[in-house]
């Protein structure tokens, strides 16, 4: 299965962002991508203090645009994330669209980015309400787990998604340059290796007013931790072929998932799913 990961340098201009994303989705589709993933806040990035004013419903402009792109190209589209209207607040929400243009899964970011690091100061919880549900959807018979950016620092989430049947996880991000240069690749490869999953991680790149500089370097990582593709410092799309037979072989030859000792851990296993 060929996949595409789109790296953007989104701004406050939604029309401009959607036009840039559409061009890169089309490039991925022409190259044969079956799944395409956009980065966090793909439709509008900047002025985080005003995010609630700029939030949309999941029937709004950006969602309708994403549904049409999926239908137009006949592919699965993970619409990175957008600010979704919520009661007295908003969610940071990632949506999955089918090749028919149906919205088939909605994930609301669980872990909010509240940090005080020079070059990466943020308090996402001032404007965003966290979600409370894990989401694994079926894509062409295989589980795809949805996450967003700061979730990457919480390995428990990825293990749970794997136990719920994820063979692929998506990590649409606006990962900061300050933390990204030290942590981005290490964390992505760790999540892939720990859970023997494919990781599709589109990132924002560059600077826009009102938000920290984003690191870029979008990546596709295989279950062995090998980086199959990595973006440079520009708006682009990267492509890779996911070999599920190799994933099966890795899980068979190095069966770490079956060597777990949940009787000694702090939480019970969720029900087994495909």
- Which 3 state secondary structure label does DSSP give 77? strand
Transcribe 226-238 into DSSP letters. -EEEE--SSSEEE
- Which 3 state secondary structure label does DSSP give 243? coil
Q: Which residues are catalytic?
A: 40, 109, 149
Question: Residues 35, 4: contact at Cβ < 8 Å?
Answer: yes
Could you count the other beta carbons within 10 Å of the beta carbon of residue 188? Answer: 27
Distances (CA, A) of 82 to 45, 51, 55, 63, 211: 9, 10, 8, 9, 15
SS3 content of the chain, % helix, strand, coil (to 5): 30, 30, 40
- Which 3 state secondary structure label does DSSP give 180? helix
Question: Residues 64, 25: contact at Cβ < 8 Å?
Answer: no
Read off the DSSP letter of residue 40: T
Question: What gap in Å lies between CA 18 and CA 66, rounded to an integer?
Answer: 9
Could you count the other beta carbons within 10 Å of the beta carbon of residue 98? Answer: 18
Question: What gap in Å lies between CA 192 and CA 187, rounded to an integer?
Answer: 9
């Amino acid at each position: 299965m060929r996949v595409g990961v789109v790296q953007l340098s989104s701004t406050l201009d939604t029309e401009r962002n959607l036009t840039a994303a559409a061009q890169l989705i089309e490039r991925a589709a022409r190259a044969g991508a079956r799944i395409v993933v956009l980065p966090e806040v793909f439709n509008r990035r900047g002025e985080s203090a005003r995010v609630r004013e700029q939030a949309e419903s999941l029937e709004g402009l950006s969602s309708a645009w994403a549904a049409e792109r999926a239908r137009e190209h006949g592919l699965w589209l993970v619409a990175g994330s957008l600010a979704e209207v919520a009661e007295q607040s908003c969610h940071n929400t990632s949506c999955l669209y089918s090749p028919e243009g149906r919205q088939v899964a909605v994930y609301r970011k669980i872990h909010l980015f509240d940090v005080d690091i020079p070059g990466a100061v943020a308090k996402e919880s001032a404007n965003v309400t966290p979600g409370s549900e894990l989401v694994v959807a079926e894509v062409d018979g295989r589980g795809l787990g949805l996450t967003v950016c700061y979730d990457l620092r919480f390995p428990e989430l990825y293990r749970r998604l794997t136990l719920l049947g994820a063979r692929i996880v998506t990590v649409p991000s606006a990962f900061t340059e300050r933390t990204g240069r030290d942590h981005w690749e290490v964390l992505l490869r760790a999540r892939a290796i720990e859970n023997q999953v494919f990781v599709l991680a589109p990132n924002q790149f560059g600077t826009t007013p009102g938000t920290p500089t984003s690191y870029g370097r979008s990546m596709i990582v295989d279950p062995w931790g090998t980086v199959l593709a990595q973006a440079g410092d520009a708006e682009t799309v990267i492509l890779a072929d996911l070999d599920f037979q190799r994933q099966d072989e890795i899980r068979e030859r190095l069966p770490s998932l079956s060597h777990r000792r949940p009787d000694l851990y702090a939480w019970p296993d969720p029900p087994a799913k495909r």
